[in-house]
Structure 1
Amino acid sequence: MKSLLQLSEVYAILEPGPVVLLGTALGGRANLMPLSWHCMMEFAPPLVGCVVSAGNHSFSALQATGECVINVPTESLARQLVGCGNCHGDQCDKFACFGLTPLPSAEVAVPRVEECYANLECRVVDRQLVDRYNFFILQVVQAWIDPSVTAPRTLHHRGYGKFMLAGKEIQLASKMR
C-alpha cells in the first residue's frame, strides 16, 4: 500500500536529468553552481530551460551577461559537484578550490570545465519567465563531448545529499532518429 509523500519532497521524484555544473562569469570572475532543475525544450536549435534561484550568485551573472556553460560531470566529480554547491561563488574561486580546469569557450565568455564529459555553451534567448519563476530559456550555441566516454555515469539528485547514478541502458524499437 502506498503512503502519502510530503509535497516538499515531490521534486526528488521528478528530477529531470543529470545534475550539471552551471558555469557563469561576471566581471572576469568565473563561477560554478550545481543545477538539477533543467529540461530540454526543443531539438533544433537546441533550447534548454532552467531555474536558477535569484538568491544565487549565478543568477546575477546569468541575468547580467546572458551567457553560461552547462558542464555535465560524471560520477568521478561527485565530491567537487557537492563542494561547489556548499560554498558561495562570490567568496571563493570554485575552479581553484575544487581542482577543476577552466578551458576557454568558443562562443561565450564563460570557461568550460575540462573534467566534465560534455560542455554546452549557451546564451539566454528568452527571459519572459525570469521575474516570476527564475526560469531562463537558453539556446545551445556550441557543444563539446569527450568521445572516449561512451556510457557516462551521470549524477541524478534525489534530495538531501542523495544521488542516483545513471546505469544500465536498454534499447527499444523507436521511429525517432
Structure 2
Amino acid sequence: MSVNRHRRFTKPVMPLDLVRRHLEPGPVVLVTSAHGSSRNVMTLGWQTVMEFSPSLVGCMISAANHSFELIRQSGSCVINVPPASLIDTVVGIGNISGADVDKFETFGLTTEPGVEVAAPSIAECFASFECRISDDRLVTSHNFFIFEVVRATAARLARPSRTLHYTGDGVFMISGRRVDRSALFDPRML
C-alpha cells in the first residue's frame, strides 16, 4: 500500500474571472494579418493546440479587434512567438489599434513576407507559423478561429528562448527552467 506524500492544498473559492491566471499555459504571441492594402499586428495572450497532424491551433480574437476582419477576409494570419525581451513591445502593441497607426513602424518591427499567406512574419520573433483558417464555424458565435499551420519556421537557438505568459491584470510570467522527463514517456506519447 502506498502512502500519499504529496502536498495537499486548501482551496478557497475564487472569482470565476480569475480562472485564466491558472489556465493560461501558452506563450503570448504576436498575430500578424493582411488583406488588400491593410496590415496589422496584435498581441494575443491565449491560443491552444488542437491537433498535431494536421497542426491545428485555436485562437479567440475579439470582433472589436482590427485584426478580426483582416483575418476573416484574407482567411489567414501568422502566429509569431516573441522572446521575453520584447515584453514592452508586446504590451505596447496590445494597447493601441492598428486601425489608427502602423504598429510595425511604430514599434520598429522588421517584417518578412509570408510564403504561403499574405500576412508578414516578424523577424524579431524566434518562431513564426503561417496559418489558414481551417474551421470558422465558431467565429460568429464565439470569435473562435481554428487555424491550420501551413508553414512553420523557428530559429535554431543554443538554448531555448524565454517566453511571456500572461496571467491577467497586466502581470506576466516568464518561462523558466526546463525539466526533461522524456525518458519516462512511452515513445508513442511524446
Which TM class, normalised by the smaller chain length? over 0.9
Question: Which residue of the partner structure matches residue 33 of structure 1?
Answer: 42
Show the counterpart of 1:139: 148
Q: Which residue of 2 aligns with 1:105?
A: 114
Q: How many residues align?
A: 177
Pick from 77, 82, 88 the counterpart of residue 86 of structure 2: 77
Following TM superposition, the consecutive aligned residue runs of length 4 or more in structure 1 with deviations greater than 4 angstroms are none
Structure 2 Cα separation of the partners of residues 67 and 91 of structure 1: 22
Q: Secondary structure at the match of 1:106?
A: coil
1:43 to 11, 29, 52: 52
Per the alignment, residue 23 of structure 2 pairs with 14
Q: Percent identity?
A: 47
Greater C-alpha radius of gyration: 2
1:117 and 1:149 in contact (8 A); partners too: no
Equivalent residue number for residue 97 of structure 2: 88
> CA, structure 1 residues 149+90, in 2 after alignment: closer, same or farther (shift >3 Å)?
farther
SS at match of 1:110: coil
Quick one: structure 1 residues 149 and 72, their matched pair in 2 at CA, closer, same or farther if it must change by over 3 Å? Answer: farther
- Matches of 1:25 and 1:16, distance apart in 2: 27
User: Structure 1: any 5+ residue segments left out of the alignment?
Assistant: none
Greater alpha carbon shift after TM alignment, 142-151 vs 41-50: 142-151
Of 41, 57, 73, 1:64 maps to: 73
- SS of 2:137's partner is coil
Contact 1:157 1:164 (C-alpha < 8 Å) held by counterparts: yes
Alignment root-mean-square deviation, CA:
1.1
Shift of residue 149, structure 1, vs aligned partner: 5.4
8 Å contact kept, 2:27–2:46: no
Unaligned 5+ residue runs, structure 2? 1-9
For 2:119, the aligned partner's letter is: V
- In structure 1, the partner of 2:6 is none
Q: Does the CA-based 8 Å contact 1:16-1:36 persist in structure 2?
A: no
Distance 1:26 1:136 in 2: 17
The SS at the match of 1:152 is coil
Distance apart, 1:148 and its partner CA: 2.3
